[in-house]
């Protein structure tokens, strides 16, 4: 290679482009089928020198530039790659915010710990749960007591059988005709003679009653009925016992030595 070719960078570039294997630069669009338009053109005297060393390249029809891959197919991968950083950024911000809020709450509790009386808080829970358990127990053992006034009429219809001896007092004079009379006196004896007898008013006569008396009437009833219903023998026993069992675990957690109304331990 001559000294002139060494000082000619454009010639070196043409030598590279004129090799056997086509360079990627050769695929670039050409102007008028010649060399790349961005290379400086040489003067006539230098063109003769460069053409002696560079083999002639046949002009080939312009090659169409291959179409790039469709961006639509690569879009999902790009979206998948770009989804991670924003997600982790947002998650980190939320986590830091929650941590800051929790830290502020803990600091506030620590600063006010001396002001809080834990004993009073426990007593409040003990009184609350103990009151609930005791009242549910009292409700289960309660009785419904009352007096119900009854005012009504009862129909009465039956036959009354009578068979007894009694005395009858005459309310007026009673005349008995053709009565058989026996009279025994000192000078006169009459045996079973027919006569007429008059029984005066107020005469007491012993009689025997044997008859059936029909009864059809109504009897008024006015009375007060006392009522005493124990709730543990009704359907309310089950819900009251269930409420006691719901409160019992929390009550035993705060007061393990709690007792019921009978003095027996609640927590067994």
**Does residue 22 sit within a domain?**
yes
Ranked by mean pLDDT, which of 49-53, 106-110, 243-247, 251-255 comes out on top? 243-247
Same domain? For 150 and 198 the reply is yes
Same domain? For 201 and 153 the reply is yes
Same domain? For 28 and 83 the reply is no
**Model pLDDT, residue 81:** 52
Asked whether residue 249 carries a pLDDT value surpassing 50, the answer given is yes
**Does residue 74 sit within a domain?**
yes
Segment among 111-115, 151-155, 220-224, 234-238 with least mean pLDDT: 111-115
Segment among 20-24, 171-175, 259-263 with least mean pLDDT: 20-24
**Does residue 138 sit within a domain?**
no
**Model pLDDT, residue 55:** 46
Same domain? For 40 and 95 the reply is no
Tell me the pLDDT tens digit for each residue of 201-246: 999 989 998 989 999 999 999 999 999 999 999 999 999 999 999 9
Query: What predicted TM-score, i.e. pTM, was given to this entire model?
Result: 0.38
More confident residue, 57 or 141: 141
Same domain? For 171 and 199 the reply is yes
Residue 161's domain comprises 144-224
**Model pLDDT, residue 119:** 58
**Model pLDDT, residue 87:** 78
Full DSSP string of 25-91: GGGS--STTSS-TTSPPPPHHHHHHHHHHSPP----PPPPPPPPPPHHHHHHHHHHHHHHHHHHHHH
Same domain? For 49 and 89 the reply is no
Percentage of the chain with pLDDT > 70? 64
**Does residue 10 sit within a domain?**
yes
Structural domain total, the chain: 3
**Does residue 161 sit within a domain?**
yes
Tell me the pLDDT tens digit for each residue of 24-59: 555 555 555 444 444 444 444 444 444 444 444 444
Same domain? For 74 and 49 the reply is no
**Does residue 26 sit within a domain?**
yes
Same domain? For 193 and 220 the reply is yes
**Does residue 98 sit within a domain?**
yes
**Does residue 61 sit within a domain?**
no
Q: Which residues in 107-132 are b (16+ Cβ under 10 Å) and which e?
A: eeeeeeeeeeeeeeeeeeeeeebbeb
More confident residue, 169 or 86: 169
Same domain? For 49 and 76 the reply is no
């Amino acid at each position: 290679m001559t000294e002139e070719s060494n000082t000619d960078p454009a010639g070196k570039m043409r030598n590279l482009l004129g090799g056997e294997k086509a360079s990627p630069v050769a695929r670039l669009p050409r102007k008028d089928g010649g060399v790349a338009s961005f290379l400086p053109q040489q003067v006539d005297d230098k063109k003769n020198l460069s053409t002696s060393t560079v083999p002639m390249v046949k002009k080939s029809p312009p090659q169409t530039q291959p179409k790039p891959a469709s961006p639509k197919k690569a879009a999902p991968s790009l979206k998948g790659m770009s989804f991670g950083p924003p997600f982790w950024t947002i998650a980190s911000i939320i986590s830091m915010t929650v941590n800051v809020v929790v830290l502020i709450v803990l600091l506030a509790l620590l600063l006010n710990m001396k002001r809080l009386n834990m004993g009073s808080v426990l007593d409040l829970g003990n009184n609350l749960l103990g009151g609930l358990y005791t009242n549910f127990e009292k409700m289960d053992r309660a009785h419904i007591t009352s007096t119900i006034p009854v005012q009504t009429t009862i129909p009465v219809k039956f036959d009354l059988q009578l068979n007894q001896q009694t005395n009858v007092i005459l309310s007026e004079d009673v005349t008995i005709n053709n009565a058989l009379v026996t009279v025994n006196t000192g000078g006169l004896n009459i045996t079973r003679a027919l006569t007429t007898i008059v029984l005066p008013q107020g005469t007491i006569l012993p009689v025997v009653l044997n008859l059936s008396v029909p009864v059809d009437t109504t009897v008024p009833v006015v009375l007060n009925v006392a009522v005493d219903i124990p709730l543990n023998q009704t359907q309310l026993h089950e819900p009251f016992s269930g409420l006691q069992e719901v409160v019992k675990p929390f009550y035993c957690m705060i007061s393990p030595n709690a007792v019921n109304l009978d003095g027996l331990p609640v927590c067994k």
